[in-house]
Amino acid sequence: MLDSLFDDVKRMNKRQFIYQVLSFGMIVSSALMIWKGLMVVTGSESPIVVVLSGSMEPAFHRGDLLFLTNYPEEPVRVGEIVVFKVEGRDIPIVHRVLKLHEKNNGTVKFLTKGDNNSVDDRGLYAQGQLWLTKKDVVGRARGFLPYVGMVTIYMNEYPKFKFAVLACLAVYVLVHRE
């Protein structure tokens, strides 16, 4: 198996090898383009997120995938699932809006809670922060796909697994001939 793989490389001339490298570059850049394109279409800085905790069970489990939008003209309303960032925490949180107050000048403040948590999120917010505002929101959950995010969770938990997968893919793309 491996011998036959490297036979392919040996039989390649310089041009063919450069072609393989370029096509590898194409794959990487098109993935990047799709991600950035989704950011433009959805208005969210992170259009797809993986659920990392069980705080929204039984709706969302660890490893489920959420598709977000964040259109400024669509108002936040109670009962929606928002993904927000809190100062001092790296990982965005996926929770449901529990209370909302909108002032006459359009400023909104709201409080969130996880379906599986018994108390609201004031304990999770930054010190002294009582409400979330629009600028904290990364996106609103619009679509749901179960289990798919498990791959990225494994990759983050076992970095060796991640490098192994990446290395295999890179070798395959570079070495494999159409």
Partner 1 sequence: MYSVLTRGNGILTYTLSVLACLTFLCFLSTLTVDYRTAAQMNTVKVVVKNIADYGVSREKNDLGYLTFDLKTDLSSLFNWNVKQLFLYLTAEYITPANELNQVVLWDKIILRGENAILDFKNMNIKYYFWDDGNGLKGHNNVTLTLSWNIIPNAGLLPNIGAIGQHSFKFPTDYTQTRV
Instruction: Please pick, from the candidates 34, 145, 166, 170, the single residue that binds partner 1 as defined by CB under 8 A.
Output: 145
Among the listed residues 88, 84, 76, 91, the one whose alpha carbon sits nearest the alpha carbon of residue 121: 84
User: For partner 1, which is the closer residue by CB, 103 or 160?
Assistant: 103
Q: Which long-range contacts (CB under 8 A, 24 or more apart) does 52-56 make?
A: 52/91, 52/153, 53/114, 54/116, 55/93, 55/94, 55/95, 55/114, 55/115, 55/116, 55/117, 56/81, 56/94, 56/95, 56/96, 56/114, 56/115, 56/116
Q: Shortest Cβ distance from residue 3 to partner 1 (Å)?
A: 12
What x/- string results for residues 61 through 80 when contact with partner 1 is judged by CB under 8 A?
A: ----------------xxxx
Question: Segment near partner 1 (CB under 8 A), from 7-15, 40-48, 99-107, 158-166?
Answer: 99-107
Could you say which DSSP state residue 135 is in? G
Please select the residue that binds partner 1; options are 50, 51, 81, 82, rule is CB under 8 A: 81
Q: Taking the complex as a whole, how short is the minimal distance between the CB of residue 174 and partner 1, in angstroms?
A: 18
Does 178 bind partner 1 (CB under 8 A)? Our answer is: no
- Catalytic-role residue among 44, 55, 64, 136: 55
Backbone angles phi, psi at 69, to 5 degrees: -125, 160
Say whether 4 is catalytic. no
From residue 32, alpha-carbon distances to 88, 98, 145 in Å are 28, 35, 21
Task: Write the binding mask 102 to 141 for partner 1: x where contact by CB under 8 A, - elsewhere.
Answer: xxx----x-----x----x-x-------x----------x
Within residues 32-61, the interface with partner 1 by CB under 8 A covers 58-60
Catalytic positions: 55, 95, 121
